[in-house]
Chain A
Amino acid sequence: GAGVSQTPSNKVTEKGKYVELRCDPISGHTALYWYRQSLGQGPEFLIYFQGTGAADDSGLPNDRFFAVRPEGSVSTLKIQRTERGDSAVYLCASSASGGYNEQFFGPGTRLTVL
């Protein structure tokens, strides 16, 4: 079956602009996660959804970052007033029911803020 997909694969924007990154999880997976991976680092947790609600958003770095999952499937990560430090690969993952189940990752969106 289809894995986790993310669009766009690459996004280049200018400092101060608004961006949206999309994630399509594996069909039927109730849990969805966003991570951010900077060069030479492991992925860092941003936010976790169980169904439509954000169960844990403790990893969001500041209020410029926001994510939604209105129908419990597709999720959008939104970044306002982008800064050069936001440049990274943004990874999405899903799992069947959360908890300690393995998470399946998408290929990521590479965001570059000029």
Chain B
Amino acid sequence: AQSVAQPEDQVNVAEGNPLTVKCTYSVSGNPYLFWYVQYPNRGLQFLLKYITGDNLVKGSYGFEAEFNKSQTSFHLKKPSALVSDSALYFCAVNQAGTALIFGKGTTLSVSS
């Protein structure tokens, strides 16, 4: 079975500092990995995905993610956090080209 784990329920960072939201995965075969963000009272928004190729993937709103096969990780990063980045972040893996399997989510809180 395929799964992702987000080991941190909450991440706190000061505005202007770099941020990292962690995700590890467990798959049989090639991983197809995604990050989504959920703002209050709004739907999930796609940030970025890794299918194949370059291990550093760039996405929306200045976010990027680093795929690390040896550590089975796909951590989300941003060089300089904004207060407006405060939201709930989900890592997901695509199961056989059908369903997304989501982690439990990590709440990011950026303080000014």
Contact = CB atoms under 8 A, between A and B. Distances in A.
Contacts of B97: 98-100
Q: Is the interface of A mostly helix, strand, loop or mixed?
A: loop
Contacts of B32: 100
A38 to B, nearest CB: 11
A33 B104 CA distance: 19
B33 to A, nearest CB: 10
A85 interface: no
A114 interface: no
Contacts of B99: 33, 45, 48, 56, 59
Interface string B41-62: 1111110010100000000000
A108 B104 CA distance: 18
Contacts of B49: 100, 102
Given A42-B90, A45-B101, A102 B46 contact: yes
B44 A43 contact: yes
> Taking each of B43, B45, B46, B97, which has the highest tally of chain A beta carbons within 10 Å of its own beta carbon?
B43
A58 B94 CA distance: 14
Contacts of B101: 45
Interface of B: 32, 34, 36, 41-46, 49, 51, 90, 92, 94-95, 97-105
23 contacts: A4-B43, A33-B99, A33-B100, A40-B105, A41-B105, A42-B102, A42-B103, A43-B90, A43-B102, A45-B100, A48-B98, A48-B99, A56-B99, A93-B44, A98-B98, A99-B97, A100-B32, A103-B100, A104-B46, A105-B43, A106-B43, A107-B41, A107-B43
